[in-house]
Amino acid sequence: MSKLSKEIKEVTSSRVACDGGTGGHPRIWLQIPDAQGWVECPYCDCKYVLKNNVQKGA
């Protein structure tokens, strides 16, 4: 099975939940590291990028 192209979502919180959307997988919570500014879901490879000027953990 081939993977679809990675989805990139811009978020306003450093803590995000991912459930795979239409692909579906167990809901997991991801923490965006301050130094990196992004995190990738280990199940679906969706990339969550933290917008500039947001409150951490909001």
Secondary element (H or E) of residue 49: strand 47-50
What is each CA distance from 42 to 28, 45, 49, 52, in whole angstroms? 10, 6, 15, 24
Q: Tens-digit pLDDT profile for the chain (58 aa)?
A: 445 568 899 999 999 999 998 768 999 999 999 999 999 999 999 999 999 744 555 5
Cα–Cα distance measured from residue 39 to residue 45, given in angstroms and rounded to the nearest whole number: 9
- Asked whether residue 46 is domain-assigned, the answer is yes
- Asked whether residue 22 is domain-assigned, the answer is yes
- Asked whether residue 12 is domain-assigned, the answer is yes
Contact 33, 39 (CB under 8 A): yes
Domain total of the chain: 1
- Asked whether residue 56 is domain-assigned, the answer is no
Residue 44 structural domain: 8-50
Contact 56, 14 (CB under 8 A): yes
